Each structure stands twice: as C-alpha cells, then as structure tokens.
C-alpha cells in the first residue's frame, strides 16, 4: 500500500471517529434542544476535536511509518534510511491529479448537502435539521473524498 493511500486511510479513520462522536452527542439533543446556539457550540467543539485528532493521528502515522522503514532497512546506514523515508513520501503528478479529482467529488457532496439544507429552510422545516444536514454533508463529503482517492489510487486516472 502506498504512502498516499495510508495517509488517506488515517484521514478517513479520523473523520469516522469524529462523526461517531458527533452523532452520539447530538442524538440525545434531537427533539429536546431547539436553541441554535447549543447546536453551533456542539458543532464547533467537534470541528476543533477533529482538527486536533487529525494532527495527532498524522504525527503518529509519520512516526510509525518512519520507524517501520527504519526497521525494514536496519542493515543500511542512517543516510540511506532517511533517503528511503523521503522517497516513500514523494507525491508525483498522478497523486496530485487523484487528489484534485477526489477533492472535486468531496466538494460536490458538501455543496449538495448545503443546498439540501437551504431547501429544507425554504420549505419551512426546522433550522436545526438544516444545519445538521449541512454539517453532516461536509463530513460525508470528506469521507467520500477519501474513499474516492483510495479507489483512484488503485484504479488509476487518465488525463482528459
């Protein structure tokens, strides 16, 4: 498995953990909490937790990746190990193209969720429902972006 796929899996795991935390926190609030301020604070807290969790997971990922490469190539010198780590983390044009294509899918899903939230408001549904649709659409957009990125890494992409 390539470095890029492993890194994307770390992002997906982080997103799933935050999504589960948010859903378990927000399910008891549905129907009982009508104050948008409480919902906004809940969402902002989970965004902050997501950022911190993602940073911690990426630091741990890179530490374990470097240690794994060092153990695998323990017979070589320090310079050779450093070079192997650098080579593992190189992103080529194919990786950048895959990132762009998967990012486009993620933004499309997030945009559709945003539009669905606005439609809910226009049709007179609860504003709490609308902001939750928007918030969850951004999370699902991020998850699908990662899944598409992994799929395209294995399938490959064509220019044009």
Q: Average the pLDDT over 151-158 and give the result.
A: 83
More reliable by pLDDT, 81 or 43: 43
The answer to whether the Cα torsion of 136, 139, 143, 145 is positive or negative is positive
* Contact of 138 with 15, CB cutoff 8 Å: no
| Cα–Cα distance, 127 to 21 (Å, whole number) | 22
pLDDT-derived band at 159 (thresholds 50, 70, 90) equals: low
Percent of residues, the chain, with pLDDT higher than 90: 58
Quote the pTM value: 0.82
Q: Average the pLDDT over 93-118 and give the result.
A: 94
């Amino acid at each position: 498995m390539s470095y890029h796929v492993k890194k994307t899996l770390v992002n997906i795991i982080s997103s799933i953990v935050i999504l589960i935390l948010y859903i378990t926190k927000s399910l008891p609030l549905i129907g009982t909490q009508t104050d948008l301020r409480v919902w906004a604070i809940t969402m902002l807290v989970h965004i902050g937790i997501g950022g911190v969790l993602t940073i911690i997971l990426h630091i741990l990922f890179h530490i374990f990746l470097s240690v794994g490469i060092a153990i695998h190539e323990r017979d070589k010198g320090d310079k050779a190990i450093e070079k192997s780590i650098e080579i593992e983390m190189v992103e080529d044009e194919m990786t950048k193209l895959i990132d762009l294509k998967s990012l486009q899918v993620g933004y499309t899903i997030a945009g559709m969720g945003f539009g669905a939230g606005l439609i809910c408001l226009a049709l007179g549904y609860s504003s709490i429902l609308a902001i939750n649709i928007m918030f969850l659409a951004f999370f699902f957009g991020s998850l699908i972006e990662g899944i598409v990125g992994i799929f395209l890494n294995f399938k490959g992409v064509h220019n044009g």
